[in-house]
Each structure stands twice: as structure tokens, then as C-alpha cells.
């Protein structure tokens, strides 16, 4: 493999929806007979592409299909894709928590994985004991782990609770300690899924800095999954885009990968919101339509900088669903992948104590604070802090330049920024 530390060849992963095995004795026998004869599993030819924007009629689905790429020592590879693209499945295979159906993965060196909060920790053990447990699993000696102990505890900021069972940790404490362990126990390959969203802003910045140091100073390899294009741009030297379980844009330049991802996202936003299957959440509340309205409640297709606008999110729920303590938010992303602003009721007006089983959430913006360009809107609704529905790239929209400040002067398009009301004086 030379300087290549990860080599993925013809990798595919198939699942049978809702069941283990084929679900029928005659099919299991047929599968066994083919295996004994050295033939390909006949049921691998059955199944659909993992396109979650449409309803599947097959019992089988390819979560990954024909994945090929290489990662060299010291590279930071960003893995980009929408919900259901196959990112987490790929990381699980690379982390050896599940195996491929077809294909192979060759990796050199010790692997540290941070796939989700709680991975690799034993709830009954203390933070200190879990550090030693994880180090031992990675093949480190007790002396090696002990030499890193203080650094891990300090990085995670959990010194006061290091001898407390981790089952009593908050999700933030859990992920800080898990990241500290993964980053400091000298892994050759570090695999990080979108867990940093659990930590606060300071910790996220700290974690990104540590991952950069691990790659540039220590020559380690990092695989990083994130929906935050700013983090991908800051950290990664290369990126790959997954779509419906396949590689949509091969390993290459980060900026090009982000452009391909956003172009695909804009095409996807054309699909009616109610028909979107690539959503996450418990599902007791579901977004079914989205539109922009003006002051007269007339639908708007193109928006203008500085104009009054309402974001109208229609929703529906099950008849017996309990609907209380509801928070709703919408995040505006530019075509450069950067988050421009997020609006939500939790901080501006407080959560909704109770809502009807069907209705509309209305967000009122007295002056649209973004300049001309193309944008995407992500929307999310939660109940009692639990996510009910999250749709990425729910709609794409265009903004035309307008006179935000009422001065007759227009902000140049090159100044992609958030506009804020302000006044200047001299004394």
C-alpha cells in the first residue's frame, strides 16, 4: 500500500429491511447451497439503490454500492452527503463494527473511532476506567495510557467527575471525554462522525484544532463526516461526496466537492416536502409544505434583501400524538455551504406550550438580512428536546439585491454576509 493507509475496493453493503437473513427457509438454504458451490449469493442481485427521496418497494436495499477510494498518510478526508447517503454505514465498516457484503477494506495502523455518543464506553465504569479500557482495546500498554491520562482529562474538562460512572455524564461531557480519548491515544487513523454537534462552540473549535494538529503535526490520517461545510473547508485536505449509497463526486478538491454536493442539494429541494423520505426524527410531527409569504400573505418565489417576509412551515401529526413544549428552527445556508443564520422560537419567543394536530409555524422576518444569491433552508422541529422532524435542504431559494438600509446604496454581491441594522455617529 506504500504511503496509502486506507484502500477501499468495490465496497458494497446490503441490508434486508426489517429482518435478519432472507426471511424464508428455502431462500436461506439456497443462499447456503450457492456459498458451498463458491457462487455469488443470489440475493445480492435483488435490491434497490438507497434513494430515500422515493419510497422503496424492495425487501433489500444497498446502503453502499461500488465504493472505491484511497486515503494517504496525513490526509484529512471529508465525507459529505445528505441523510441516508451511506456515510455512517461507510464509517462503521471502516471502524470494523460491521462488515461489507461485497468488496474489501485494507487499513494500516491503530484506529480510533468516534461514531456516536457512547461508542466504546462502558456505562458502569468511571471516566478513568474507560480511558484505560479504550487504550487497552487499541493495544496500548498501561504505562502508555498513564502517560496520556492527565492530557486527556484536561482536554475533556471532566477532572471533577473522572471517577464517576460515565452513565451519569451529560451528553456533552460524554462526547468531550470520548473525543479526548480518541485524539490522544496516538491512533494512526482517526474516524469522526458528526458527534461534535453535541459539544458547545468552544469545544467544537478545540476539537477541530486538535484534529488538524493530529494530521499536520503527527502525520495521522483523519476521516471526518460533517454537515457543516465550514468545518469541512477548515479541516479537510480532500473530500468525497456520497449520494444514495454511491460516490457522487470522487475524492478530490474540497471546494469542488462542496459545489457538487450543494448543486445536488438544490436539485433535491425541488421534490415536494411531503414526499421527502430522507428525513430524520421521531415523526410525531412532520413538515408537509414550506413557502415564503409577503406582507399580504401572497406567496413569494424570489425574495429581496431587506424585504418583509414570512417563512410558513405547514405540519401535521398523528391524531393521538401529545404536542407540547415545541421548538422550531430554520437555518439558512449559502451556495458556498456556509451557515448564514438560524432562526428559532426557543430563544426569540419561547417554545410553544401546546399546538394543534395540524397547522402552520410562522416565522416573521421584518427585514430579510441576506444579500443577493442562492440559498438553502434546513428545518427542524422538536418536542421536549427530542427531534421530531429534520429536513435538510427543504427548499432552495433566490434572493435579489435590495436596499436594506434605505440609503439608496446596495451591498455588493461579493460581500456575502449577514446584514445588521446599525447607526454611526461622531462625538
pLDDT reading at 344 higher than 90: yes
Q: How much of the chain exceeds pLDDT 70, in percent?
A: 84
pLDDT reading at 268 higher than 70: no
Taking the C-alpha atoms of residue 93 and residue 122, their distance in angstroms, rounded to an integer, is 22
Nearest partner of 13 among 63, 60, 56, judged by Cα:
63
Q: Of 307 and 410, which is predicted with more confidence?
A: 307
Beta-carbon-side half-sphere exposure of residue 86 (alpha carbons within 13 Å): 28
pLDDT, mean over the chain: 83
pLDDT reading at 131 higher than 50: yes
In the prediction, which pLDDT does 17 show?
A: 59
CA torsion angle for 175, 177, 180, 182 (degrees, to 10)?
-70
From 7-16, 80-89, 304-313, 347-356, the region with the lowest mean pLDDT = 80-89
Nearest partner of 312 among 368, 362, 359, 358, judged by Cα:
362
In the prediction, which pLDDT does 391 show?
A: 92
pLDDT reading at 362 higher than 80: yes
Task: Yes or no: say if 128 and 100 are a contact pair by the CB < 8 Å rule.
Answer: no
pLDDT band at 42 (very low <50, low <70, confident <90, very high): low
Nearest partner of 182 among 96, 113, 107, 91, judged by Cα:
113
Report the 10 Å Cβ neighbour count for 89. Answer: 22
CA–CA distances in Å: residue 364 to residues 72, 153, 361: 49, 45, 10
pLDDT reading at 146 higher than 80: yes
pLDDT band at 19 (very low <50, low <70, confident <90, very high): very low
Domains and CATH numbers, the chain: 4-266 (3.40.50.300), 273-400 (2.70.50.60)
pLDDT reading at 51 higher than 60: no
pLDDT reading at 116 higher than 70: no
pLDDT reading at 104 higher than 50: yes
pLDDT reading at 72 higher than 60: yes
pTM of the model: 0.66
pLDDT reading at 53 higher than 80: no
In the prediction, which pLDDT does 2 show?
A: 55
pLDDT tens readout for residues 173-209: 888 888 888 888 888 898 888 766 555 667 778 888 8
pLDDT tens readout for residues 366-419: 999 998 888 889 999 999 988 999 998 899 888 888 888 888 777 776 666 788
From 41-55, 102-116, 292-306, the region with the lowest mean pLDDT = 41-55
pLDDT reading at 21 higher than 70: no
Nearest partner of 327 among 290, 378, 381, judged by Cα:
381
In the prediction, which pLDDT does 38 show?
A: 66
Q: How much of the chain exceeds pLDDT 90, in percent?
A: 30
Amino acid at each position: 500500500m506504500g504511503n496509502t493507509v486506507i484502500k477501499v475496493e468495490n465496497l458494497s453493503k446490503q441490508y434486508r429491511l426489517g429482518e435478519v437473513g432472507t426471511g424464508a427457509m428455502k431462500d436461506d438454504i439456497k443462499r447456503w447451497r450457492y456459498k458451498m458451490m463458491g457462487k455469488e449469493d443470489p440475493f445480492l442481485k435483488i435490491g434497490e439503490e438507497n434513494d430515500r427521496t422515493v419510497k422503496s418497494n424492495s425487501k433489500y436495499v444497498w446502503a453502499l454500492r461500488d465504493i472505491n477510494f484511497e486515503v494517504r498518510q496525513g490526509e484529512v478526508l471529508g465525507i459529505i452527503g445528505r441523510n441516508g447517503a451511506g456515510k455512517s454505514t461507510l464509517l462503521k465498516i471502516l471502524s470494523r463494527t460491521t462488515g461489507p457484503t461485497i468488496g474489501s477494506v485494507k487499513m494500516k495502523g491503530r484506529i480510533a473511532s468516534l461514531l456516536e455518543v457512547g461508542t466504546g464506553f462502558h456505562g458502569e465504569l468511571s471516566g478513568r476506567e474507560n480511558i484505560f479500557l479504550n487504550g487497552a482495546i487499541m493495544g496500548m500498554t498501561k504505562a502508555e495510557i498513564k502517560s496520556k491520562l492527565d492530557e486527556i482529562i484536561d482536554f475533556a474538562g471532566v477532572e471533577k467527575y473522572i471517577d464517576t460512572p460515565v452513565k451519569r455524564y451529560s451528553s456533552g461531557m460524554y462526547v468531550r471525554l470520548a473525543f479526548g480519548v480518541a485524539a490522544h491515544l496516538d491512533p494512526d487513523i482517526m474516524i469522526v462522525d458528526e458527534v461534535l454537534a453535541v459539544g458547545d462552540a468552544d469545544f467544537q473549535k478545540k476539537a477541530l484544532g486538535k484534529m488538524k494538529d493530529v494530521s499536520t503535526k503527527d502525520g495521522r490520517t483523519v476521516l471526518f463526516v460533517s454537515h457543516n461545510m465550514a468545518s469541512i473547508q477548515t479541516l479537510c485536505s480532500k473530500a468525497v461526496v456520497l449520494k444514495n449509497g454511491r460516490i457522487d463526486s470522487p475524492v478530490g478538491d474540497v471546494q469542488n466537492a462542496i459545489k457538487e454536493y450543494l448543486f445536488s442539494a438544490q436539485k433535491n429541494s425541488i421534490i415536494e416536502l411531503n414526499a421527502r423520505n430522507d428525513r430524520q426524527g421521531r415523526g410525531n410531527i412532520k413538515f408537509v409544505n414550506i413557502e415564503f409569504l409577503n406582507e399580504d400573505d401572497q406567496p413569494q418565489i424570489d425574495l429581496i434583501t431587506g424585504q418583509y417576509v414570512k417563512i410558513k412551515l405547514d405540519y401535521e401529526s398523528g391524531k393521538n400524538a401529545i404536542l407540547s413544549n415545541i421548538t422550531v428552527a430554520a437555518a439558512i445556508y449559502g451556495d458556498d455551504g456556509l451557515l448564514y443564520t438560524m432562526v428559532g422560537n426557543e430563544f426569540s419567543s419561547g417554545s410553544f406550550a401546546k399546538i394543534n394536530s395540524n397547522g402552520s409555524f410562522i416565522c416573521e422576518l421584518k427585514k430579510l438580512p441576506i444579500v443577493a444569491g442562492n440559498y438553502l433552508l434546513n428545518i427542524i422541529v422538536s418536542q421536549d428536546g427530542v427531534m421530531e422532524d429534520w429536513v435538510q435542504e427543504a427548499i432552495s431559494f433566490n434572493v435579489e439585491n435590495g436596499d436594506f438600509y434605505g440609503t439608496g446604496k446596495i451591498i455588493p454581491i461579493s460581500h456575502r454576509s449577514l446584514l445588521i441594522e446599525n447607526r454611526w455617529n461622531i462625538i
